[in-house]
């Protein structure tokens, strides 16, 4: 019988993309995805930290799913986990706390935890969070084609260099890191083959795409390459900073 895993996602389309990527990883490892209102073996809360409301919803949800299945493994990951590890460590319901980069290895981390839990016959809280401020390269999930909707979200950029006084995002997501054009095109070609006709291009500060590349390459260049892909009929942009565009 397959183990079951459920996801609850807060925040932006980047988080939605990363949830899709994590779901795809679990499916490839023979897990079944179920609704977050159902009983599951593993619950993953992909958190947001942009507002106090998002943080509160994150805390409410993690307590709610633990009530559905007290013996489930509860994983909290994402921006709130990245910047508020100490706060989350005070919540005993949480089993695993993961930052931004660790989403890429979530299946292995969860399986190692469950194996250790079975051997020791007890639970203990674990946290794995890299210092995202030191990261210079875009962390690629590979080709993410899994989606539950009729359009696919495609992440092309991460991080922000603006450091606005009111915004925590650069501390949660690090500096600008753009995805290689070859990787974006490869993913969207596979999405088109799946029959999806619309893609949503997203990032933390998507208008700054390419600013970290040595060669002269910008968002418009990426869009022109995507526009050449057969089967894609609409390219939608996620939230974008107009002051960055000529």
- For 29-80, give the DSSP string: TT-EEE-TTS--SEEEEEE--SSHHHHHHHHHHHHHHHHH-TTSEEEEEEHH
Position 184 scores a pLDDT of: 98
3-state percent helix, strand, coil for the chain, nearest multiple of 5: 40, 20, 40
Q: What is the pLDDT of residue 119?
A: 87
Given a cut of 80, whether residue 85 has pLDDT beyond it is yes
Q: Is the per-residue pLDDT at 89 higher than 90?
A: yes
What's residue 65's pLDDT? 86
- Among the listed residues 71, 91, 70, 88, the one whose alpha carbon sits nearest the alpha carbon of residue 79: 88
The three-state secondary structure class of 192 is helix
Least confident of 50-59, 117-126, 150-159: 50-59
Pair 83, 99: CB distance under 8 Å: no
CA distance linking residue 81 with residue 99, whole number of Å: 6
Q: CA–CA separation, 46 vs 42, rounded Å?
A: 13
State yes or no: pLDDT of 153 exceeds 90: yes
Per DSSP, the three-state class of 139 is coil
Note the pLDDT of residue 113.
96
- Name the pTM for this structure: 0.94
Query: By mean pLDDT, which of 86-100, 150-164, 231-245 is the weakest?
Result: 231-245
In the predicted model, what is the mean pLDDT of residues 119-139?
A: 91
Average pLDDT, the chain: 92
Per-residue HEC secondary structure of 89-124 comes to CCCCCCCEEECCHHHHHHHHHHHHHHHHHHHHCCCC
CA max distance for the chain? 60
Is the pLDDT reported for residue 54 higher than 80?
no
What's the pLDDT score for residue 8?
93
Q: What DSSP designation does 243 have?
A: G
The pLDDT of residue 64: 87
Residue 51 predicted with pLDDT over 80: no
Transcribe 153-174 into DSSP letters: EEEEEE--S---TT--HHHHH-
Identify the pLDDT of residue 9: 93
- Could you tell me whether strands 234-237 and 32-34 are parallel, antiparallel, or unpaired per DSSP bridges? unpaired
Which 8-state DSSP code applies to residue 208? Answer: G
The Cα 224–Cα 236 span in angstroms is 13
At 9-28, the pLDDT tens digits run 998 999 999 999 999 999 99
- Residue 239's pLDDT band, with cuts at 50, 70 and 90, is confident
Name the residue among 161, 173, 151 with its Cα closest to residue 241.
161
The pLDDT value recorded for residue 49 is 87
């Amino acid at each position: 019988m397959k183990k079951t895993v459920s996801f609850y996602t807060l925040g932006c389309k980047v988080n939605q993309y990363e949830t899709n990527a994590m779901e795809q990883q679990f499916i490839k490892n023979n897990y079944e995805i179920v609704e977050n209102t159902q009983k599951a073996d593993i619950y993953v809360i992909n958190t947001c930290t942009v507002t106090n409301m998002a943080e509160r919803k994150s805390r409410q949800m993690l307590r709610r799913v633990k009530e559905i299945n007290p013996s489930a493994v509860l994983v909290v990951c994402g921006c709130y986990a990245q910047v508020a590890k100490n706060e989350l460590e005070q919540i005993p319901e949480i089993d695993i706390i993961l930052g931004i980069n660790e989403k890429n290895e979530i299946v292995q981390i969860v399986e190692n935890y469950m194996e250790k839990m079975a051997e020791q016959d007890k639970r203990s809280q674990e946290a794995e969070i890299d210092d995202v401020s030191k990261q210079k390269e875009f962390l690629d999930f590979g080709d993410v084609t899994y989606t539950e909707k009729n359009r696919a979200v495609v992440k092309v950029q991460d991080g922000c260099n603006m450091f606005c006084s009111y915004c925590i995002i650069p501390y949660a997501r690090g500096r600008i890191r753009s995805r290689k054009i070859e990787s974006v095109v490869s993913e969207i070609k596979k999405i088109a083959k799946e029959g999806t006709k619309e893609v949503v291009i997203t990032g933390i500060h998507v208008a700054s795409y390419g600013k970290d590349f040595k060669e002269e390459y910008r968002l418009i260049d990426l869009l022109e390459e995507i526009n050449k892909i057969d089967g894609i009929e609409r390219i939608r942009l996620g939230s974008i900073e107009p002051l960055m565009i000529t």
